[in-house]
């Protein structure tokens, strides 16, 4: 959507801009029919490899490292994200034109709502876990540089606060109240 007072991002009258837009339109026409199948392959591969990560990183001798525990949690989050997206892509993209099964039933719209919330929550959790790994790396480098770690009261409070803040930010996304623009009527309440 273009607003009258917004700055112009690029010159639509330019020959190079029009050539790029034509190439993008050509790529879109080529890629759109195979997009769903590519996504299914990526999701299946990602789910399988993340299961391998969980299997390897959850062995007793690997659980001694905090980073390995965080990487295991990231893999579990990625499995959930990709599994939800796999169901979404199969139903809403690949089976979209199937006339025997209606695409937008009440149940599938409920799934779509949960898919949105779940994928955002799991992806946010993965990002905050990456922040936690960066903090662990910082503390490890600091300990190595100073050759000591006393675990002062302030550092313990800081670590606990960061953990609680990370959990709180992730839970806020999960508990966020999403209001539909139009009322959703359950099929049982529709009178003929």
Inter-residue contact 82 to 50 (CB < 8 Å): yes
Provide the token pair at 73: 């949690």
With a cut of 80, say whether residue 93 has pLDDT above it.
yes
Mean pLDDT of 159-171: 70
Please report whether residue 8 resides in a domain.
no
| Separation CA 18–CA 7 (nearest Å) | 19
CA 50, chain centre distance (Å): 14
Cα torsion through 15, 33, 40, 125, rounded to 10: 40
Please report whether residue 92 resides in a domain.
yes
Please report whether residue 9 resides in a domain.
no
pLDDT over 70 percentage in the chain? 73
pLDDT of 37-61, one tens digit each?
Answer: 999 999 999 999 999 999 999 898 8
The DSSP secondary-structure symbol of 188 reads G
Domains held by the chain: number = 1
Mean pLDDT of 66-87: 93
Please report whether residue 23 resides in a domain.
yes
With a cut of 60, say whether residue 187 has pLDDT above it.
no
Q: Model-level pTM?
A: 0.67
pLDDT of 79-88, one tens digit each?
Answer: 999 999 999 9
pLDDT of 114-145, one tens digit each?
Answer: 999 889 889 888 988 888 888 888 877 776 65
Domain region containing 54: 18-187
| Separation CA 160–CA 63 (nearest Å) | 21
Sign of torsion over alpha carbons 16, 21, 22, 23: positive
């Amino acid at each position: 959507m273009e607003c009258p007072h917004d700055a112009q991002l690029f010159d639509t009258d330019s020959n190079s801009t029009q050539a790029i837009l034509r190439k993008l339109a050509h790529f879109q026409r080529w890629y759109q029919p195979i997009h769903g199948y590519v996504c299914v392959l990526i999701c299946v591969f990602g789910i399988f490899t993340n299961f391998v990560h969980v299997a390897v990183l959850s062995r007793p001798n690997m659980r001694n490292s905090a980073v390995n525990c965080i990487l295991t949690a990231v893999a579990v989050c990625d499995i959930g994200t990709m599994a939800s997206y796999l169901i979404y892509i199969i139903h809403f993209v690949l089976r979209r034109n199937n006339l025997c099964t209606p695409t937008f039933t009440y149940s599938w719209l409920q799934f779509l709502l949960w898919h949105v919330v779940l994928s955002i929550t799991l992806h946010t959790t993965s990002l905050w876990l990456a922040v936690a790994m960066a903090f662990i790396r910082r503390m490890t480098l600091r300990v190595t540089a100073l050759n000591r770690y006393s675990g002062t009261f302030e550092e313990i409070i800081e670590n606990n606060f960061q953990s609680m803040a990370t959990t709180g930010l992730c839970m806020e996304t999960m508990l966020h109240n999403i209001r539909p623009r139009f009322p959703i009527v359950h099929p049982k309440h529709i009178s003929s």
